Amino acid sequence: MAESPLKTYRIQGLSCTNCAAKFENNVRDLDGVKDAKINFGASKISVQGSATIEEIEKAGAFDNLRIRDEQEQVTQKEPFWKQKENIKVVFSTILLLISWLLDKQYGDESIMPIFGYAAAIIVGGYSLFLNGLKNLVTLRFDMHTLMTVAIIGAAVLGEWGEGATVVILFAISEALEKYSMDKARNSIESLMNIAPKEALIRRGHHEIMIGVDEIEVGDIMIVKPGQKLAMDGRILKGASTLNQAAITGESEPIFKAVDGEVFAGTLNGEGLLEVEVTKRVEDTTIAKIIHLVEEAQAEKAPSQAFVDKFAKFYTPAIMLIALAIAIIPPLVMNGDWSEWIYRGLAVLVVGCPCALVISTPIAIVTAIGNAAKNGVLIKGGVHLEEAGAINAIAFDKTGTLTKGVPEVTDFTVLADGLNEQDVLGIAAALESRSQHPLATAILKRAEKHDVDYPSILVDDFTAITGKGIKGKINHEIYYIGKPHLFEEVAGLEFSDDILKQISGFQKEGKTVMVLGDQIKPLAIIAVADEIRESSKEAIRKLHALGIEKTIMLTGDNIGTANAIGAAAGVHEIEAELLPQDKLTIIKQWKQKYNRVAMVGDGVNDAPALAASTVGIAMGGAGTDTALETADIALMGDDLSKLPYTIRLSRKTLTIIKQNITFSLVIKILALLLIAPGWLTLWMAIFADMGATLLVTLNSLRLLRIKE
């Protein structure tokens, strides 16, 4: 039997975690639905089964939720003040003011103020009462339940004005909460609208404008100057500068020519481009970023897990405390029933956990969304929190601190009777089988000198992990790799003159390889990889942020490592390492510094990246491995985003702690004021609303953090 289809929908108006849980349960109870899972951060629900959008929307009618297909864009959102729920708040506020004026004018002589207050309660609290009463029947205690009991109690005690005030203030609080959550989610909504929804495609001799869903891999996309790219691809014809800020966060446009990789959502500069489409619309880099960020927003941070667990016991506890305050003093101390019931109702109102429950998710959603807009992909709240607590950072050298585009600077032939063309042909033929970054430097040199290395047959090719490679050409075994490879494998010892040359190159910061057979060395090849301009400044900023230790880990020789490490400004340098050595160092550092980040290219050094507290990949744009495996991916291929990421993470941790502390302190203070009777119902709801609003505004400060 075929499994039910899984379909994802976007939700409009979702701002309360309790409502989200209730909506999820309602959808699960629908006919034909096997399972439903809500993503509160991204405001999405995944439904396994055959329910329609109309049925799902009906399940969320209690909170006026609107449902749309995951891919459907909102053309124009209704202004905040025009939304149906907010119009009701305005109308009930007017009724409250009229009733208050009548009350002042006529006092107890007229029944009109009571009718007015009752009308204000019904208009403003209709949906609140429906939810609260249903919850009471099913013994489900949430903020709707607390509020319903408090308002009904106020009416029974004759405090109609206060009951109406509580309804309106609660409705205002919920409206502001929705507005704030929407603003926090706007970072991702704006990413969704970056790439055009159609593109000019050449098929045969015809150029046609078609929707991105119909574009196939291999189609030729025509991109005119000033247009945005709709799809990922490879440039076939033309050259231009492209603004990639939406993907990588880079402020400066990047020049791209034939064979250059381009991304959907980037802005073309002055050139006309013909681009071969390489990915379908759902697989583009921008689509993956949106998907991963939304999944990340669903991941609960440790602090959020604590709040959720706390809230589960907190609400029933508040109900019991309110009941105790309402009943015990009249029974034990002969207190006035109406007075103590009123105080019990105030406990219910002030005990509403809105501010506490929203304190963590809104901060996480805001921070992850802000990071995505600035070219940093954080794969979940847990990684965001961990990054904020990092004490030490380890860096891979090649492609991380350096540009990762090595070039051959020196090629010295050692054997008599051989010229550079012959020796370079052997070296390139061997390296063409290798995946090592330095292999590209030798291949580029061979192509520059028109060496026909593809025609040279290599047999028995073997990679010698962390040391070099070997292969058989014309029945002769050749080695190319680190100098000590020949001593260990072939038993060769170099002359003092050769050792002096090798040492000289290494002191200049160059990586040295030796090519030789089983009898003698044939050539010394020196390769240099320039340090990135951003590396030194990024590491300086990290030290200024208080990172205790930075270390560079490399398989390169100690001379080259010292030169690059000194230029970058790291505290420590570990050279001539095999992958397992890097893993060992990361484990040792975790014992010493507790939390250690590893920064690499997301492809190499996988064990070290996996073992670190936070694995950070460079150049996530276009690199599927980096996007999938790293905890954090720096989309632009440079380190300048790392200090920003650490600052954002630390600020998020601080704001979460402030929010939780502030929420609990406000509750405790308000509860203490209830005992002597100093806190009225409307003051209690005002305290709760104020706490929710301040927690929200405090979290939205994270949007202001820039690089």
Considering the domain architecture, whether residues 231 and 175 belong to the same structural domain is answered as no
CA 650, CA 635: separation in Å to the nearest integer? 20
CATH number of the domain at 587, please: 3.40.50.1000
**536 and 394 in one domain?**
yes
Q: Tell me the pLDDT band of 306, cut-offs 50, 70 and 90.
A: low
Mean predicted confidence (pLDDT) in 326-350: 82
Give Cβ neighbours of residue 332 (< 8 Å, ≥ 6 apart). none
Q: Are residues 507 and 548 in the same domain?
A: no
Query: Does 676 reside within a domain?
Result: yes
Query: Coil, helix or strand for 334?
Result: coil
Task: Reply yes or no on whether the pLDDT at 9 is more than 70.
Answer: yes
The answer to whether residues 540 and 394 belong to one domain is yes
Report the pLDDT averaged over residues 324-346: 83
- State yes or no: pLDDT of 141 exceeds 70: no
Q: Print burial letters for 503-532: b (CB count within 10 Å at least 16), e (below 16).
A: eebbeebbbbbbbbbeeebbbbbbbbbebb
Q: What are phi and psi of 476, to 5 degrees?
A: -110, 130
- Do 413 and 558 reside in the same domain of the chain? no
Q: Looking at the domain assignment, is residue 607 inside a domain? A: yes
Comparing 89 with 427, the larger pLDDT belongs to: 427
- Highest mean pLDDT out of 41-50, 69-78, 563-572: 563-572
> How high is the pLDDT of residue 642?
92
- Please tell me the distance from the alpha carbon of residue 394 to that of residue 582, in angstroms, as a whole number: 9
Position 628 pLDDT exceeds 70? no
Parallel/antiparallel/unpaired status of strands 549-553 and 521-528: unpaired
Per-residue pLDDT at 108 exceeds 80: no
Q: What is the average pLDDT across 248-274?
A: 85
Question: Is there a domain that residue 52 lies in?
Answer: yes
Integer-rounded Cα Rg, in Å, for the chain is 33
Query: What does the block give as tokens for 703?
Result: 């949007």
Is residue 280 predicted with pLDDT exceeding 80?
yes
Q: Which two tokens stand for residue 580?
A: 């397992």
Residues 442 and 455 in one domain: yes
Where residue 57 sits, what CATH number does that domain have?
3.30.70.100
The reply to whether 22 and 119 lie within a common domain is no
Among 213-217, 304-308, 490-494, name the one with the lowest average pLDDT. Answer: 304-308
What pLDDT shows up at residue 84?
63
Residues 51 and 103 in one domain: no
Residue 263 zone, left/alpha/beta (φ > 0; ψ -120 to 50; rest): beta
CA distances from 197 to 204, 213, 262 (A): 22, 8, 17
> Do residue 596 and residue 680 come from a single domain?
no
Which of the residue ranges 76-80, 291-295, 318-322, 604-608 has the most confident prediction, judged by mean pLDDT? Answer: 318-322
Range of the domain at 222: 198-283
Among residues 481, 499, 528, which one ends one of the domains?
528
| Last residue in a domain, options 257, 283, 309 | 283
* Least confident span in 72-81, 203-212, 299-308, 445-454: 72-81
Percentage of the chain surpassing pLDDT 90? 17
Domain count for the chain:
5
For residue 427, the model assigns a pLDDT of 92
Most confident option among 83-87, 248-252, 501-505: 501-505
Question: Are residues 476 and 499 both part of a single domain?
Answer: yes
Examine residue 666 and state whether it is found in any structural domain, yes or no: yes
Q: What is the rounded average pLDDT for all residues in the chain?
A: 82
pLDDT > 50? residue 698 = yes
In a domain, 324, yes or no: no
Quote the CA–CA distance of 326 and 157 in Å, as a whole number.
13
Is residue 308, in this structure, part of any structural domain at all? no
pLDDT tens by residue, 455-496: 999 899 988 877 888 999 988 999 998 888 887 777 778 888
- Does residue 606 carry a pLDDT above 80? no
pLDDT per position as a tens digit, 486-496? 877 777 788 88
Q: pLDDT tens across 630-682, in order?
A: 788 888 777 888 999 999 999 998 998 898 888 888 878 877 887 677 777 76
In a domain, 256, yes or no: yes
Question: What is the pLDDT at residue 229?
Answer: 93
More confident call, 1 vs 103: 103
Shared domain check, 537 and 399: yes
CATH number at residue 499: 3.40.1110.10
Query: Which pLDDT value is given to residue 189?
Result: 64
Catalytic positions, please? Answer: 396
Which of 528, 559, 579 is the last residue in one of the domains? 528
Residue 73 above 70 pLDDT?
A: no
Measured CA to CA, the distance from residue 625 to residue 554 in angstroms comes to: 21
Q: Residue 238: what pLDDT?
A: 92
The pLDDT of 394-407, averaged and rounded, is 84
* Banded pLDDT at 346 (limits 50, 70, 90): confident
Using alpha carbons only, give the angle 609, 613, 615 rounded to the nearest 5 degrees.
Answer: 35
Tally of CB atoms within 10 A around 426:
25
Domain membership of residue 317 (yes or no) is no
- Are 383 and 338 within one domain? no
Tell me: the pLDDT tens digits for 162-186? 777 777 777 777 776 677 667 666 6
Predicted pLDDT of residue 1: 42
Spatial separation of the C-alpha atoms in residues 293 and 310, rounded to whole Å: 27
CA-CA-CA-CA torsion for 13, 16, 20, 22, nearest 10 degrees? -120
Q: What is the pLDDT of residues 553-577, one digit of tens each?
A: 988 778 888 888 988 999 999 988 8
> Which CATH number characterizes residue 260's domain?
2.70.150.10
Q: In this predicted model, what pLDDT tens digit does every residue of 502-530 receive, in sequence order? A: 988 888 888 889 998 888 889 999 988 88
How do 220-223 and 198-203 pair as beta strands?
A: antiparallel
Please give the backbone phi and psi of residue 350, each rounded to the nearest 5 degrees, phi first.
Answer: -70, -25
Look up residue 466 and give its DSSP letter.
T
Residue 543 has pLDDT above 90, yes or no: yes
